[in-house]
Amino acid sequence: MSNDQPKNSGPVSQEHPYPPTMAPYPQPYGASYPPGYPVYYPPPPDANHTDTANGAPPGPPYMIPFAPAPGMMYPYASPPAGQGYQYSQQGGPGSANGLRPKRKQVKMACTNCANACKRCDEARPCERCIKYGIPDTCVDGVRKERQKGIKRGPYKRKGKTSTEPSYGEWQPNGSSQSPPAAPAPPPMHTMPHFPPPEGYYPYFYPPPGFMPPGHEGQPGTEGSPNGNGQAPAMVPYYPVPPPPGYFPHYSPNGHPVAYPPPPNGAPMQTMDPGAANRSSSQSGETDGQEIEEIPPPTTTKKRARAGKNGESKSKKVKVAAAAAPAPASVGPSGGSDQVSEPGASSSGENDGGDV
DNA sequence: GCTATCGGACCTTCAAGGAC
DNA sequence: TCCTTGAAGGTCCGATAGCG
């Protein structure tokens, strides 16, 4: 909880002007940054991101030499140290086209964290156990051995032809004047490790050739964004839902367009999933740049909660915890009831029933 | 407001199956 | 033998309830 990564998931507020105010597309393509390269900014002075009223980055930005998908922004602010996010290569509900940040896990959570379903870390005792004063019970669980001999059906081998979008072929305006294409990025799982300095904020510029919408949401006018005279694909600056504490900004037509706060303190518009959808569809499918639809608030998600004693917990059985019951029996009596101890909670009563 | 609880999405690991 | 697939088993996000 409190020792989880800082919660900045509150409602987007205007009092958090970070990332710093800056032009979304400060220079013509190729002038000062390579296409599709993220620029990382140092973190704001405080965790609440409230101290950058002047909009000045706290430190010099730097660039990372890899090529994300055009227009892609690193969606999370300041991942916890050593717990950074990568982009998920696998889809799934809520992750569109691999743009969702990939959760980073420790190889083995301690038994306390595992039972509390909380983030652990590599250190022993882990940070959470230290916080709760039970470092002595912070031990690795025993990983269950995978079953062998399970027969599996015939595999449906996927086609060898790569279906990944080729960024190198991306031609924003279809003209020969197209900027040099960014090198095609390696597959996500082979993406070179590029940890920015801890807490740095990545900032992705829109893809080369992208034209920010002009007035009334119409395409910009500088240059000819689309050689065939068609309106350019309105690739929003925000292909992914803005991370908590970040600021989506919208053009008059509701498209998310840039970071800088609305002028004159104009009210921040709320996220409009439909807008993203419309943006995507009207642009005629921007070739692998589908806009992730912002999921509706999952307020309807209800859980049948167990009683205080958790007697109806149907949660997965913590067999690993059962294999290491020792710390459980020692811990809670120490007065540390804050941590759901193995044996005191779900796992305990499940121990017998499972096997 | 803070913290514990826990459902379920997400992630890692690795055995089985298939290609070469 | 190596690569790919797919699922088991694990982590932990985030919603929610309870408590002070």
Is A327 in contact with A113 (CB distance < 8 Å)? Answer: no
The residue written with tokens 């925000």 in the block is: A238
Helix (H) / strand (E) containing A62: strand A62-63
Distance A120 CA to B14 C1' (A): 23
- Pick from A165, A166, A233, A240: nearest CA to A202: A240
Q: Is the pLDDT of residue A158 over 50?
A: yes
| β-strands A101-102, A86-87 pairing | antiparallel
Q: Is the CB of A189 under 7 A from strand C?
A: no
What local confidence, expressed as pLDDT, does residue A99 receive?
Answer: 52
Could you read off the pLDDT of A61-83 as tens digits, one per residue?
343 333 333 333 333 333 333 33
Nucleotide B10, nearest residue via CA and C1': A103
Is A235 in contact with A69 (CB distance < 8 Å)? Answer: no
Q: Is the CB of A144 under 7 A from strand C?
A: yes
Which nucleotide is closest, CA of A100 to its C1'?
Answer: B10
Helix (H) / strand (E) containing A63: strand A62-63
Nucleotide C4, nearest residue via CA and C1': A157
Could you read off the pLDDT of A115-136 as tens digits, one per residue?
888 888 888 888 888 888 888 8
Q: Is the pLDDT of residue A108 over 60?
A: yes
Tell me if residue A215 falls in helix, strand or coil: helix
Burial class (CB in 10 A: 0-12, 13-18, 19+), A215: exposed
Report the alpha-carbon distance of residue A137 to residue A333 in Å, rounded. Answer: 12
Cis amide leading into A19 (omega within 30): yes
Q: Is the CB of A338 under 7 A from strand B?
A: yes
Please state, in angstroms and as integers, the Cα–Cα distance from residue A313 to each residue in A68, A140, A208, A348, A350, following that order.
43, 23, 52, 11, 9
Average pLDDT over residues A139-160: 73
Task: Say how many Å lie between the first and final Cα of chain A, rounded.
Answer: 31
Distance A350 CA to C12 C1' (A): 20
